[in-house]
Amino acid sequence: MVRIIKKANISRTRAATTKFIGILLALLTATLFILFLGHNPIKVYISMLDGSFGSLYRFKETIINTIPLVITALGILIAFKMKFWNIGGEGQIYMGAFLSSFVALKFPEMSKPILLLLMIIAGIIGGGIWALIPAIFKAKYGTNETLFTLMMNYIAIKWITYLQFGPWKDPNALGFPKIPNFSDNATLPKLFGIHMGWLIAIILVFFTYLFMHHTKKGYEISVIGESEKTGKYAGMNVKKVIVTAMLISGGFCGLAGMIQASAVNNTLSVELSAGTGYTAIIVAWLSSLSAPLILLVSFLFAILVQGGAYIQTAFQIPQSAAQILQGMILMFVLGSEFFVNYRLVIDKKISLNNKGLEKRCE
């Protein structure tokens, strides 16, 4: 019989070694897959880097892909620190984008600074409310937040689909199911050639770090995540902390939706998120729920995505094959994270007892 046991004391050296082995295995497996496709692995790897850094435009695209990952993963971090498994980042992104788009389409001629501020507030509120619903049910009725938040993703996506094909459909789009573009006043300005979302992301990294490590509320979230009973014994209002943490978590995700709608898509669309909410979960785990590391891991993940898209064109690799390549690399990296914290133990006594029992039955 094989049992999974959590490691008590994990040295940084051993953890780093385990992760390094995981990366080597990922590269080895990816190399074999590339050879199977009939390509030179070294050329493919160089092209992936070229696709992310080969020109100023490609580098900017890599940064643009990094921004929503950083902000959404920070939101996921706050929920996960409390052991509230928020799988609803995708839906919260869409609802933040929805509410901010409502403001953008309703007041297109409003002064740009005021309009953008209202859109940011609306995005945070939209994502926060969408996260608040499962938080209330969890705090009051003890419902399973994983299933609850996951199901709300599909509701949000279908709502946006309904708007795109129905009430918000652009009459000037010649029958194409498209929501009207935002006015210039509703578009985030650029800073150094990239929309200001990158600056917001960096500010939020610092904010999250300070919030989690240097505020009372952040401390309460961490304590309740370790032991809810300890939190109650210390006099913490557990239900209030759950609701507050999820409001912040959903608000971050909603803000990411606002940025994508305003600065990238320039409209609301059902393709707006492109799975960012799910990818951010992986980013948060790989970062060990550390705000500064989320910035680094998000950038590395964006390189993987941008490079994967580039090799599709450069080597005529099908999209599915590029996704398999990305998935294989992630599988080994995440697997190494498992072996950093846990170990497999074969219980020989149980195995011998089972064999003896089988013999007696015969």
**H/E run at residue 52:** helix 41-53
In the beta sheet, which residues pair with residue 2? 346
Q: Do 59 and 53 meet the contact criterion of CB atoms below 8 Å apart?
A: yes
Question: Tell me, what's the pLDDT at 360?
Answer: 56
Find the length of the chain: 362
Closest listed residue to residue 106, CA positions, set 190, 179, 197: 179
State the angle between helix axes of 238-259 and 276-286 in degrees (0 to 180), rounded to the nearest 10.
120
Q: How far apart are CA 358 and CA 155, in angstroms?
A: 51
- Rounded Cα distance between 159 and 94, Å, is 9
Q: What is the pLDDT of residues 128-179, one digit of tens each?
A: 999 999 999 998 888 888 999 999 999 999 999 999 998 999 888 887 889 9
d(CA 142, CA 157): 26
Place of tokens 């990922």: 26
- Cβ neighbours for 345, distance < 8 A, ≥ 6 positions apart: 2, 3, 4, 5
SS3 label, residue 54: coil
Nearest residue to 76 via CA among 313, 279, 339: 279
Tokens for 180, please give them: 């009207």
- Work out the burial of residue 6: count CB atoms within 10 Å of its CB; fewer than 13 is exposed, 13-18 middle, 19 or more buried: exposed
The whole-number pLDDT of residue 334 equals: 75
CA distances for 165 relative to 100, 171, 178, angstroms: 19, 11, 7
Closest C-alpha to 208, from 249, 246, 254, 260: 249
- Region of residue 174 (left: phi > 0; alpha: psi -120 to 50; beta: else): left
Closest CA to 325 of 300, 304, 306: 304
> Hey, what are 287's tokens?
């970062």
Contact 361, 25 (CB under 8 A): no
User: What does the pLDDT read at residue 357?
Assistant: 47
Helix, strand, coil shares of the chain, percent, nearest 5, are 75, 5, 20
- Phi, psi of 202, rounded to the nearest 5 degrees: -65, -45
Cβ proximity of 362 and 60 under 8 Å: no
* Ranges under pLDDT 50 in the chain: 352, 357
